[in-house]
Amino acid sequence: MCGIVGYIGTQTASGILLEGLQKLEYRGYDSAGIAAIWEGEIHRVRAKGKLQNLQEKLANWQIPAPIGIGHTRWATHGKPEEHNAHPHTDVSGRIAVVQNGIIENYRELREELKAKGYVFHSETDTEVIPNLIADELQKLKAIDSKVSLLDATRQAVNQLEGAFALAVISADYPDELIAVRQQAPLSIGFGQGEFFCASDTPAMVAHTRTVLTLENGELARLTPTGVDVYNFAGDRLRKYPKTLNWNPILVEKQGFKHFMLKEIYEQPGVVRACLEAYLDSDWTVESTTSPIRLGLADSFYENLEQVQIVACGTSWHAGLVGKHLLEQLADIPTQVHYASEFRYAPTPLMPHTLTIGVTQSGETADTLSALDMEKRRRSEMGSKFAPKLLGITNRLDSTIGHLVDYLIDTHAGIEIGVAATKTFIAQLVAFYCLALDLAYRRKTIPLDRLDQIVTELRQLPAQIESILEVQERYVEQLAHEFVETQDFIFIGRGINFPIALEGALKLKEISYIHAEGYPAGEMKHGPIALLDAKVPVVAIAMPGLVFEKVLSNAQEAKARDARLIGVTPMDDQEAREVFDDLLPVPEVEELLSPLLTVIPLQFLAYHIAARRGLDVDQPRNLAKSVTVE
């Protein structure tokens, strides 16, 4: 989910571009860059990492160019290195492009262009676009010397497959900025003798509130004298801008319709923030310390024989994933309890037990009460039963911070939507880090296996981003078919059973549709009686130990006329034959799959609820932080 900003007018573009990118930084932290036209040349500055790095590079920028484009990136194709940062240019350096989205057929286009002599310097899908435009310009100029940048861009984008938004400039056309939208957001801003384009309107609101949102299959030519909009067939369109009625809450939503949708899109950044905080970037199998840096005192690791987790709602589901990780990686017996039940029926006291309380707000009454009770009753016993309490929370300054001995910060930032999304995925990352840390210290898995898991964890933010880029539109269309549905079943096995529970909970919370999550193997022991053509079944089927079993369980549901929706790898042929609808995710090993499989289920719940016209952010009868019993 990259951020695009463009400017053409009378002011110096660089300052406006940088200001716009600051408003869009939530869309990407991997790298950033700008390109501007001055004195017949394209001048480009790019920087790896956060926007601050680009800002420092621009401190001595002395180019008063009145036209330019900027970009802040989430890596999808190619690592987050400067040579992969946008803007990208053609082989001659005369055309510059920034892109949000994914070009699905870039490999084929790249090979065709290479055969014509074009040279590529990045691993991105974006670099094919300026070279393709350059190639089309060459072809068109052979026919008519008066060809425009718009004409060549239109010819090029008609060859692209995927979801994308583009901003294009050329040193040979210093008074033109081309904006393109195809299934990725892009808007045009109208100022006094100046024009803007951006992925999100907050990037422009400091300069104008008159905005035209491009529709799919449209491109616009911005010049110092005005804006013309065309479709991909070349027909000029009559479009009218609107004046934004901005208020503080809309600005806070950063252009998203709901906080929940905004927070779903923030999840790659949340995962990356957690990993940056807790993974040792210099760790190798030869290291003599843990790859995880949780900052916990040595006393935390002493005499640890078992774990009990207390939580509520979505945090309880995170605890179930945590149980799987702690048992399978660190070989520690683990129990998960509803905090509200644990308070009145606590387990018998066992020695050397770690109690983990999971609460995003740090204020959940039942969880705090369960922890306090455990602390008090253990304090009355001998040293073997001494309380050892860990909190996993999004708010270190909350009550839980004063109650427990140890804390893990989930680094999710404030979450406003009542239905937890980014805080859930942050809790999962916290459990992954905890389990890996304990596994290293307890020597329960080989170092090469640990290294493999850590390596794949680092790739997850980009993989989540790829889901966000390509899947929302499809899920939105699919959701239309379930507006009148009254019941849903979600199934999963192993580490993805808790994700089935979480998917069902999200749907219940915001759409008010009855939904239940089950272990897939338990369907035949009762719930299968619920199935008919009116009850869709969502199955999470990721390659691994239970993959074939889940597909078999899904077949049982299909035999009862249930419509099957599969959360499964993108290119698995067997899954395609089983499911009626697919919510594909990148293929990843089963152990890490919950961090991906939950994303389509969040989208499904959101779009069904939004289509039903419900208050997604503040569903009835629910509160963000449950501070009463």
Q: Give the pLDDT confidence of 271-280 residue by residue, as tens digits.
A: 999 999 999 9
Catalytically annotated residue among 48, 262, 422, 624: 624
Kindly tell me if the per-residue pLDDT of 172 is higher than 90: yes
Kindly tell me if the per-residue pLDDT of 66 is higher than 90: yes
User: What pLDDT shows up at residue 135?
Assistant: 95
Q: Is 624 a catalytic residue?
A: yes
For residue 558, what are its two tokens?
A: 């299909």
Going through 541-609 in order, the beta strands assigned E by DSSP cover: 564-569, 581-585
User: What pLDDT shows up at residue 340?
Assistant: 94
What CATH number has the domain spanning 3-248?
Answer: 3.60.20.10
What pLDDT band is residue 248 in, cutting at 50, 70 and 90?
Answer: very low
Distance in angstroms (rounded) separating the CA atoms of residues 477 and 234: 27
Kindly tell me if the per-residue pLDDT of 627 is higher than 50: no
Kindly tell me if the per-residue pLDDT of 112 is higher than 70: yes
At 133, give phi and psi (nearest 5°). Answer: -65, -40
Mean pLDDT of the region 146-170: 93
More confident residue, 295 or 22: 295
β-pairing verdict for 334-338 and 218-223: unpaired
User: Do 463-629 and 3-248 have the same topology in CATH?
Assistant: no
Question: In this structure, what DSSP letter does residue 125 have?
Answer: S
Q: Is 116 a catalytic residue?
A: no
User: Which superfamily, per CATH, for 256-445?
Assistant: Glucose-6-phosphate isomerase like protein; domain 1 (3.40.50.10490)
Cα R_g (the chain), whole angstroms: 26
Among candidate residues 561, 537, 534, the one with its CA nearest the CA of residue 550: 537
Least confident of 34-48, 343-357, 379-393: 379-393
352 contacts 459 by C-beta, under 8 angstroms? no
Catalytically annotated residue among 2, 197, 274, 433: 2
Distance in angstroms (rounded) separating the CA atoms of residues 602 and 608: 10
Return mean pLDDT, the chain.
90
Within 10 Å of residue 216's Cβ, how many Cβ atoms? Answer: 14
Q: By three-state DSSP, how is residue 467 classified?
A: helix
Domain ranges of the chain: 3-248, 256-445, 463-629
Mean pLDDT of the region 284-291: 92
**Helical (H) or strand (E) element with 407:** strand 406-409
Contacts of 23 (CB under 8 A, 6+ apart): 200, 202, 203, 205, 254
More confident residue, 529 or 177: 177
Mean pLDDT of the region 289-318: 95
For residue 149, what are its two tokens?
A: 């940048």
Mean pLDDT of the region 208-225: 92
Kindly tell me if the per-residue pLDDT of 183 is higher than 80: no
Q: Is domain 463-629 given the CATH code 3.40.50.10490 in the classification?
A: yes
130 contacts 119 by C-beta, under 8 angstroms? no
Distance of CA 203 to the CA centre of its chain: 20
Among candidate residues 583, 559, 561, 557, the one with its CA nearest the CA of residue 572: 583
At 567, give phi and psi (nearest 5°). Answer: -95, 105
**Helical (H) or strand (E) element with 523:** none
User: What pLDDT shows up at residue 255?
Assistant: 78
Least confident of 436-445, 470-479, 488-497, 585-594: 470-479
* Half-sphere exposure at residue 375, Cβ-oriented, CA atoms within 13 angstroms: 17
- Quick: pLDDT tens for 582-596: 999 999 999 999 999
For residue 258, what are its two tokens?
A: 């709901």
Kindly tell me if the per-residue pLDDT of 609 is higher than 90: yes
More confident residue, 420 or 622: 420
